[in-house]
Structure 1
Amino acid sequence: MENDSPTVPKRTLTEILYVVFLRLVAVTSLWFGLQYWGMLVGYSLDGQGRFDLLTVPWQVAAPTLAVVFPVAALGLWLAVSWGPVLWALAAIVQFLMYETWSEIFGTNTFVLLFHGLVAALYVLFRIAFWLDDRRRAGQVTTHLP
């Protein structure tokens, strides 16, 4: 049964793809968060990443990311404005860890490439929304004689 109610907004293809994109990033953010929790409680890395065995920089970074990534995942899944903000915060922290302070945290090229790809796709979606808004604004204008 088709719903033609005027109260239900029609979504554009861009909006639908954007929500799908956010949910895929949400799943990966949850995965990142679970990896950090697994490390901190000794489940992964043969117990070598337990919180009490980590160096101080890791004791600061790992619990922070273990909390921020799952919360960002929730915001991304719900497609609310704070989801991408928290994801960006976590991505910046990981960029600083693996690029700026690589002598402390090591390197992780995959994570950096992944975050770069997600950021680029996010910017492309924002540009697409801007272009859609401009197109709609152009259709609404009236021509006065």
Structure 2
Amino acid sequence: MPVTNEFFERTPTYASTLELAWQWFLRVVAAWSLILGILYWVRLIGFYDGAEWRFDLMPVHWQVAAVALAVLFPFAASGLWMLASWGPVIWFLCAAIEFGMYLGFPRLFGFHLEILIAHGIVAIIYCAFRAVFFLKARKQSD
């Protein structure tokens, strides 16, 4: 039996509008996560104009938090951009750390309501997308 191109051809798959919106959402969150990661790196290496915003001048609690987030935010950004399943997990870890910092220890880290609101909005949109995907899959299986 001769090998022809018909064995290697497949029907092209097209993403739905929902899937395209999901991909755009994840990539916007990835860009935002990368920016946050870069901002933590800028502070760690001393480009940030502030009294205690160089690693050797930071209090220990900021050193621990800044190093962790400087590594995790770009890692989350790469996972989100690649649409990998672990990307949102790492982003959630970053958001949980910042929630703990700014909500749990406002005397040490300050209270940044705008960051908490942004993380909350992203989490709500993420949950809404997952719920719609779940309902769509359940409807198709019936």
Deviation at 1:86, TM superposition (A): 0.2
TM norm structure 2: 0.90
Q: Is the 8 A contact 1:36 1:62 kept in 2?
A: yes
Write out per-residue CA displacement over residues 62-120 of structure 1, whole angstroms, 9 at most, x where no aligned residue: 01000000000000000000100000000000000000011111111110000000000
Q: Please provide the CA RMSD for this pair.
A: 1.3
Write out per-residue CA displacement over residues 7-54 of structure 1, whole angstroms, 9 at most, x where no aligned residue: x32211111100000000000000000000000111113463000000
**Paired AA for residue 81 in structure 2:** W
- Structure 1 partner of 2:125: 121
Once residues 47 and 19 of structure 1 are traced to their aligned partners in structure 2, the CA distance between those partners, rounded to angstroms, is: 40
> Which ranges of 4 or more aligned residues in structure 1 deviate by more than 4 Å?
none
Q: Is the 8 A contact 1:42 1:48 kept in 2?
A: no
The aligned runs of 1:103-118 (5 Å cut-off) are 103-118=107-122
- Structure 2 partner of 1:43: 47
Unaligned ranges ≥5, structure 2: 1-8
Identity fraction in percent: 43
Once residues 110 and 46 of structure 2 are traced to their aligned partners in structure 1, the CA distance between those partners, rounded to angstroms, is: 19
Aligned length in residues: 134
The aligned runs of 1:26-105 (5 Å cut-off) are 26-46=30-50, 48-105=52-109
Distance change (3 Å), C-alpha of 1:47 and 1:39: farther
Once residues 128 and 24 of structure 2 are traced to their aligned partners in structure 1, the CA distance between those partners, rounded to angstroms, is: 14
Unaligned ranges ≥5, structure 1: 139-145
**Paired AA for residue 116 in structure 2:** L
